[in-house]
Amino acid sequence: MKQLKKDIKVKFTDFWPGWDSNNNYFIKILSNMYNVQISDNPDYLFFSDYGTEFLKYDCVRIYYTGENIVPNFNVTDYAMGFNYIDFGDRYFRLPNYKRFDSYDLAINRSKIENIGNKSKINFVYSNSKANPIRDNFFHFMAQYFEIDSGGAHLNNIGYRVSDKITFLENYLFTIAFENDEALGYTTEKIVDAFAANTIPIYWGNREICNEFNPNAFINIRDFKSFKNVAEYVSHLIENPDKILEYLNTPIFTNSQLINHKKQQIAFENFLNRIFLQDIHFAQRRSKYAVSLNYQRKFYTMNKLYENKFLKLVFKAKRFLFKIRFWKNY
């Protein structure tokens, strides 16, 4: 007799603009295992970093971040993010590139016979508040190579690219720097480059070589200086066979590929542990004593921050703090 799927009521809040609650990575996985109903009266709430609406819901909370942010387990029952954390059944490391179509493209990228007429280097970013090393590297390399910048930040091609992967396909190298440096913080940037059959020039997660084949990309940490990187890139440009060697190297070593497959199964098990247990036992965050007071303060501070006048006050205080800091420095 075929076992019936369990019915679950879920809701998504505080995700980025353009998020589709009816069609996303989590819905696709959950729909294979459960009868999923999107509800305003959910038993399970998925939330992220772009708001505080999640505080209105006293159901099972499941936090997901695609940013370099450490989960706050005082306000969530479960979390998924970049950090290497061991926190019982409450946390699962889920780098955001797993959600991107480029991840599957990268794994299944085809063999390259020749490099054709590809341009040299691209740079596609919109975030101007990233670690300064990214802009510094761009400006340094621009002294030696023509670099096409197709994002909103440092744009020099006259338009903003609408299809990143298609744009990247026209280049030999992609500057694939994270917004910042943190252990485990590996985003879609290196995966997009792999998917487009261009060589990533990577900076970010110090453990990146445990995640992807170090022979498939250029790791900034392998060089003493930016100048050494520029010299190595020049060497590769003069030796197309070496570029082809990079492009045709699998993005995972055999052991890494096995681990990635295991991780997919582990993620499904993580979700099942949440949804298959009784709803009353699924909640993990404490609601009593000091924990309750903390959550009330957390809620109050976030509600205050949503006040437009107080937002201006907070911004002014931050500005004054920066002035005092630089004067003292």
CB of 189 closer than 8 Å to CB of 217: no
CB of 109 closer than 8 Å to CB of 196: no
CB of 66 closer than 8 Å to CB of 177: no
What average pLDDT does this structure show over 201-205?
98
* CA dist list (Å): 261 to 109, 258, 266: 17, 5, 9
The overall average pLDDT reported for the chain is: 91
Residue 326 has pLDDT above 90, yes or no: no
Residue 57 has pLDDT above 90, yes or no: yes
* CA dist list (Å): 316 to 112, 128, 266, 312: 54, 21, 46, 6
Higher pLDDT, 186 or 292: 186
Closest to 122 in 3D by CA, of 100, 155, 158, 97: 155
* CA dist list (Å): 37 to 78, 97, 212, 236: 20, 26, 36, 53
What average pLDDT does this structure show over 114-139?
95
- Dist. CA 182–CA 82, nearest whole Å: 9
What average pLDDT does this structure show over 23-52?
96
Tokens of 128: 């101007």
What's the pLDDT score for residue 133?
97
* E strand or H helix that includes residue 291: helix 289-306
Three-state secondary structure call for residue 35? strand
Higher pLDDT, 136 or 317: 136
- Length of the chain measured in residues: 329
pLDDT in tens, 74-110: 999 999 999 999 999 999 999 999 999 999 999 999 8
Residue 22 has pLDDT above 50, yes or no: yes
Longest dimension (CA), the chain: 74
* Predicted structure pTM score: 0.88
What's the pLDDT score for residue 314?
56
Query: What percentage of the chain has pLDDT greater than the value 90?
Result: 82
Residues 6+ apart with CB under 8 A from 40: 11
What's the pLDDT score for residue 259?
94
pLDDT band at 323 (very low <50, low <70, confident <90, very high): low
β-strands 6-13, 147-149: how paired? unpaired
What's the pLDDT score for residue 1?
43
Burial label, 225 (beta-carbon count in 10 A; 0-12, 13-18, 19+): exposed
pLDDT in tens, 228-247: 999 999 999 999 999 999 99
pLDDT band at 318 (very low <50, low <70, confident <90, very high): low
Count other Cβ atoms within 10 Å, centred on residue 164: 20
Residue 226 has pLDDT above 50, yes or no: yes
Three-state secondary structure call for residue 121? strand
What average pLDDT does this structure show over 247-268?
95
